[in-house]
Amino acid sequence: MAKSKTSPISRVTKKYQATIPQAVREVLGISQGDCVAFEIIQGQVVLKKVQPFDWDYLDAVAGTLSEWASEADEEAYHDL
């Protein structure tokens, strides 16, 4: 990965927090309240903007999945 001579940096606080530099926020389109994810790839950390989970939607969907929670299903798929 090529480095720029003016790579943005940030200092880590005693609570292990760091400010995302403005140049990085602009490139990723990050605004206050957005969610970010850290992905570790071969010793490098990649910062990505992500969409937050819609927990209400996921809970509603989870409620419809009970049809696959029978004892017969557990027996059939126990070794997967």
Q: Is 10 exposed, middle or buried (0-12, 13-18, 19+ CB in 10 A)?
A: exposed
Q: What is the pLDDT of residue 2?
A: 59
Asked whether the whole model's pTM tops 0.75, one would answer no
48 part of a folded domain = yes
pLDDT of residue 1: 55
46: its two tokens: 């990649």
12 within domain boundaries: no
- Choose among 45, 8, 42, 5: nearest CA to 25: 8
Amino acid at 25: R
- Is the residue at 2 inside a domain? no
14 is written with which tokens? Answer: 């005693």
Report if residue 5 sits inside a domain.
Answer: no
Any domain includes 17 = no
3 within domain boundaries: no
How many folded domains does the chain comprise? Answer: 1
Predicted pLDDT at 13: 98
Per residue of the chain (80 residues), give pLDDT as tens. Answer: 555 567 899 999 999 999 999 999 999 999 999 999 999 999 999 999 998 888 888 888 887 877 777 888 888 888 88
30 lies in which domain range? 22-77
- pLDDT of 79 reads 83
Chain centre distance of CA 68: 28
**33 within domain boundaries:** yes
Domain contains 65: yes
